[in-house]
Amino acid sequence: MERSLVAAGSLGALAGFFAGGLGSVLVRGADVVVLPTAAAFLGAAQAAVDVARSLEGLDVQLEALMVVDRASAEETHFEKRIDEAALVVLCDGAGLHARSVWRDTRVGAALARARRIGAVGSSASVLGEVMIDPRGGAPTTGLGLTTGVAFCAPASEEQLARTRKLLDEQNALVVLGARGVLVYENAVWRVVVDLDLIVSRGDELTSL
């Protein structure tokens, strides 16, 4: 089964990817589900509405799954809908909350099986083997759905220097700004849009 993950720095960047030639993989009427888990503290319903508005030109069938806590993450209906969907969109927000909700739950297991995931902002940082803790920039454990890259949001030079020092060189650090887009397929990352994107390994700037 074809599987892929798109990491985008913003909802606009994700929508642009799927609307453009490189991202035109969604057939007319495709089944798309939205997980606003990371936006639970900011407004999960509004986050889902924002996704619907951003994708309205793609002619897809969209459903928001209100997975906002661990109890809802154990519901079999949500697990089934993720298994069925052609695309699962993970909203931006609080990555640590998303990790705590998804880890070792039915929804988390379904995400590991999902055919295609579009992860926005902080949600992209949750999916790797290594996650960067946004509170101080230290590496911690992610969900393990991807390898080779740890994502973080733009931060101060001091914090980024600390993160690079603590992160092992087996993982590239990707500072994912608003316009950046990357794709993970066949266990390989590639950059699609390199705007607002900084890739480093150790102290050295590099590429994927």
The pTM (predicted TM-score) of the whole model is 0.94
Q: Is 131 exposed, middle or buried (0-12, 13-18, 19+ CB in 10 A)?
A: buried
Which residues span the domain enclosing 111?
4-205
Query: Total domain count for the chain?
Result: 1
- For residues 38 and 173, give the distance between their C-alpha atoms in angstroms, rounded to a whole number: 21
Residue range 14-72, pLDDT digits in tens: 999 988 755 556 777 889 999 999 999 989 999 999 999 999 888 899 999 999 999 99
CATH code at position 115: 3.40.50.880
The tokens of 25 are what?
Answer: 């993989």
